[in-house]
A = this chain, B = another copy of it.
Amino acid sequence: MKIDKPRQYVVENLKYALNPRTIAVVGASRYPGKVGYQVIQGLKDWNFKGRIIPVNPRADTVHGLKAYKTVADIPPEIDIDLVFVAVPSVLIKMVLESCVQRKVKLVTVASSGFKEVGRGDLQNRLTQYCRDNKLALIGPNLLGMGSPYSNFNCGFIPYLPIAGPVAMISQSGANLLAALGNSQTMRFGMSFFVGLGNKADVDFSEFVAYAGQDPNSKCVSVYIEGLDSEEAFVHAARSVVPHKPVVAIKVGGSTIGVKAAMAHTASEAGPGDAHYDKVFERAGVIRATTWQQFLDISLALGLMPPLKGDNFVMITNGGGSGLLACDHFERSGMPMKELPIISGGLSQRIRAYMPAFGSPLNPVDIAGTANHIQYHGALIQAIRDPNVDGVIVSTCPTAITDVAAITDAVIDLKKRFGYLNKPIIAQLQGGAECDANILRLRDAGIPAYRMPEQAVDAMVSLRKYAKIQEGLSTGAAAPKKASRAS
């Protein structure tokens, strides 16, 4: 249901959705295969440290934990932060009443059978009840949520992501699952994640506002099928972007997609796709087009400072990678500049680290013979140059390339020159040794990718964010100064 702006009591309570001290599971079950069993199993498997209270009218213990017949039966001395509900939709009103009575901070409804199957009336009545009683409700038809920082994995989610900078707020369960799986295999770090489902009460905007306050979240990434409360979203994003970037991917813009989105998470057939470009521009939100791009730029924005100017240098041992990159930069409206235009003596200083037949243009092709010492030297020349705003380092393994040693050089570069607050992005394209070192770089806080175009998308997003910050700081609203550090 529509809201005008993020509600304070919701935003304040969302921390209990991701790090509850006590969680009650209504519909807790003794039978594997039941949702109410899997949820508790998941909490235990991922080493959740808080208290778990099963609620089941026909069992004394569930999963070896003392169970209570109803929420009302839980002893009053126990404060309940979060109630997770997995019972049929007709029983939910009763559960909500107990929650209100017990002053529960937040309730999460996993059950389906609401607006997505035409029961919008039932969903709206429950929402209204919650709002009247200031009980924040997440869902229904919710997949799950959690945070690696609190070992909290609550819902139907087979993965807990690795800890990192990206807050992942998703309307789709499936894509969230995919991103979470990707988190482990690709070392894509998240601060928290939530699959919002029907978002009957708690809205995108409130999770965005919460992420803005969460110290572990450095980039706020949102997958949207439909915005019920556009103004609330703009309001929330504008409050966050002076401090942290917000990235969005909006799907369902195609003719058939509008129908599919309605069936999927009960999103209304909204205005066309071009409208959302305007909404995101107004909100200061960076829009991604494909899911890969969404992940790639979220990681870069989470790990790196904004790119403060257009003077970026790419250093590569592969002319082909350089060409793919500079074409893609131009397609992205951010053409590369030649080294002499960026900085007077830089070409000559970099020349010391490349053979005579290498090419000190930009991309700088230090040639297939380049070793880690040459990479290190050339990168240091580039990043130390006061006219250079950021660097991309690119490697294709030739028969003599030591990818691990070059990776060490890049990690050292970040350690020594991170204080300069200039983005460093890596691209390693090849076989297993490249994939392994991409993960090492990500673990060291450096956005690293397989494809040149991915690295370009990442750098372009860092420039977009710098421009958004500039626009805000010169705007009428005069928001607080940006305060992100690398």
Contact = CB atoms under 8 A, between A and B. Distances in A.
A158 B255 contact: no
Interface in A196-252: 223, 225, 251-252
A159 interface: yes
B324 A173 contact: no
Which residue, A112, A158, A329, A363, has most C-beta atoms of chain B within 10 A? A158
B184 A260 contact: no
A322 to B, nearest CB: 6
A117 B358 CA distance: 9
Contact of A431 (B172, B182, B223): B182
Contacts of A42: 399
B182 A255 contact: no
Contacts of A485: none
Contact of A290 (B158, B259, B324): B324
A147 interface: no
Interface string A419-437: 0000000000111111100
Nearest to A328: B290
Given A185-B432, A335-B255, A397-B181, A321 B361 contact: no
A329 B254 contact: yes
Interface residues of A, number: 87
Contact of A256 (B174, B335, B429): B335
A471 interface: no
Contacts of A329: 254
A460 to B, nearest CB: 14
A361 B453 contact: no
B257 A330 contact: yes
B255 A330 contact: yes
Which residue, A174, A291, A319, has most C-beta atoms of chain B within 10 A? A174
Which residue, A112, A400, A451, has most C-beta atoms of chain B within 10 A? A451
A319 B117 CA distance: 14
B365 A431 contact: no
Nearest to A175: B320
Interface stretch (A70-78, A261-269, A303-311): A261-269
B260 A359 contact: yes
Interface in A387-437: 396-400, 429-435
Nearest to A265: B319
Which residue, A253, A316, A398, has most C-beta atoms of chain B within 10 A? A398
B38 A399 contact: yes
B265 A321 contact: no
A173 B362 contact: no
Given A318-B172, A335-B256, A323 B264 contact: yes
Given A174-B320, A320-B223, A326 B158 contact: no
A172 B254 contact: no
A127 to B, nearest CB: 20
Counting every copy of the chain, the complex holds 2
A190 to B, nearest CB: 13
Interface string A314-352: 001111111110111111000111100000000000000
Contact of A451 (B173, B264, B291): B291
Interface in A173-188: 173-178, 180-182, 184-185
Nearest to A264: B319
Given A182-B430, A328-B290, A157 B319 contact: no
Which residue, A225, A321, A362, has most C-beta atoms of chain B within 10 A? A321
A139 interface: no
B396 A177 contact: yes
Given A158-B397, A252-B327, A396-B177, A260 B322 contact: yes
Contacts of A398: 156, 158, 173-174, 177
Contacts of A157: 399
A445 interface: no
A452 to B, nearest CB: 6
Nearest to A323: B251
Contacts of A433: 181
Contact of A251 (B170, B324, B361): B324
Q: Which are the 6 A-B pairs with shortest beta-carbon distances?
A: A174-B318, A172-B320, A181-B431, A181-B430, A264-B319, A254-B330
6 contacts: A157-B399, A174-B316, A175-B396, A175-B429, A260-B359, A264-B365
